[in-house]
Structure 1
Amino acid sequence: MISANYKLLAIGSIAIFLAACSPADNATAVSKPPPSVKVSTLKTESIQNHVQALGTLLAKESIDISSNVTEKITALHFNDGDTVKSGQLLITLQQDVENAQLNSAKADLAEQERELSRLQGLIATQSAAQTEYDQRQTAKLRAESKIEEIKALLAERNIRAPFSGVMGLRLLSPGALVSPGTSITTLDDISVMRLDFQLPSLAISAIATGQTVVAHSEALKQDFNATISAIATRINPLDRSITARALINNPNKLLKPGMLMLVSLITDEHEAIMAPESALQSIQLQHYVWILTDEQKAERRPVELGIRKPGFVEILNGVSAGEQLIYEGYATLQPGATVTLSADNTTGSN
């Protein structure tokens, strides 16, 4: 009786086990839905290679106004920041002695001219010798030369603007004694600014006179267009850089000499396929992307990378425009795996 009960219990256990392993339930347990991914359509776009450099602004023309002689300042004919014209009187130095000498020289010239006029009449009546007339003529020429000499001395004491521009801050006041080399103020022509910047000599083939570059001022939070006007004829042997000069129109006088500018110039422009960096899978030195085929299968492709820009990288080869790039959900994919599009995927373009 006990043996019969054990047999019935064993048969029941086997039946339960077979029921649990029925084909219908086993198929349900191993069947999984295809992975869900997000894709975008690859396309070509125009990209640019940029080279950046720091540059310093210089005025078109710039000088320190100083005196050629040691003398006292009697008058300043400008205010700080004034716009002046070329030839405009800026500073008057003491010139009393020179004015007295000029008056004396003019009186001497007038006397020589009177004597010449008188002798001319006497020579006509043969009442004076020709030699006396010639001596007076020579004296007249000396008097004229003396006047020009004194005028030159006066010009040194009347300091004028050598070019049109904007006056800086005056450093001295009337009554101050100045000597050669003493800076009185500054004068800058800032209607056009010069921008000098250095580039690696390897980029020399990418720059040319007449080329347009973009100069950014962090202080003004503004970009300015500049045109390369000259390129240095020598390369710096220490850092192997070459200096270029660009000109920037400055009608509103926003730019000031000495400002730091970030220069950006285009060295190359071409059509390329750009992919999101998030779609890039890197294994050691090899890079891959995943492509969704027409059969809705995932295909891993080795690719070669080019330039980068924020969030994107250039794909040089390995993919073609129009293909579907898997940019999300590829982490667990296997090559050839069937995938489905995520419900919130919008198959757009990069």
Structure 2
Amino acid sequence: MADKKLTVVISQAQGKNPAKRELEETLAATLLMEPEIEVSLVPHLYDLSADHTGTLFLQALRGDLVILSWLYPRACHWILDRQGVRGKEGHVLLREEVDEDEEEEQKQNAPFENPERNKTIPDRHIYSIDLRVSSKPEDYVQEIKRIAGESQVQTVPLMDMLQSAPQPAQLEKYLKPLDIINADKNNGAETTEDVKLEPTKRRWYPVIDYGLCTNCMECIDFCLFGVYGVDQGGQILVEEQDSCKKGCPACSRVCPENAIIFPGHKTPGIAGADGEVAGLKIDLSKLFGAPDALEMAARERDAELVADGRDAVGMGVGLRKSSKVSKATDEELEDLMDNLDALDI
């Protein structure tokens, strides 16, 4: 019987930041020496299209899976879910500290239950680890070893898994992380096709956290660019990713459950941060007298409509009366100041 191994995938950072590339290379080299681990490397998860070979590679993997990426774990998990790489959320100890009470408060309402979708979630765990949590490779190696010790690791070698996938020869390159990294250092010079990754382009689209989404449909009412749709089970989904307007996070601001993520946004609450930070995408604007989240969202949408040669619609379209945000009370502002003090920023 084959040795039991845990599959670890390193998702490269966008761009070629030297410090990030060094951490990726060190982790790949270290993990390759661990007998209980099989390591691979793919481009940035958020930039993978549905037909990219990196996506096909991830879809071919079976068993428990560890993903190291430059993303918040929540964003990473639901990007993978959207790509058909599904599993239960694995418990990770190496993470930014989040108050458990705050994490529970974030779940204001029960998420929408779609029995058909739930049937497609396999009995395995996916562990998402943010590579921004620590600059020390040993921290990640230690956490991965801990996970390997408690997970139901796969007994089928990755190479055997790929043989049953479409285009197996094109997927095998992802099992050569150091060759890929070295080729990247040389800017592809004298690089053979077996280690040359399929290129990606930077993308911008919303990612739905189905652990929070209540299927209220506010996003599909608000977005006027055809991004959202509904599946056969009646559940909201991102139907046309590339119809989204680059840099616009407006639909995330109107989501009452904070279930819409834009992983590339600079604001943690919109990019997928958990806990207390997630709510600050709205409240900071109240504190400093700027437009509230819904007003800001309407302005962002209007800017994109005008850029498309269409008429601005303001707050009169796609915003339900129940969604209107009232002016902050003194008590709300006092609570916000307490939250900011607790964040130590």
- Class of the TM-score when normalised by the shorter of the 2 chains: under 0.3
Ranked by relative contact order (alpha carbons within 8 Å, sequence separation 6 or more), the top structure is: 1
Structure label with greater radius of gyration: 1
TM-score by length of 1: 0.20
TM-score by length of 2: 0.20
Higher helix share: 2
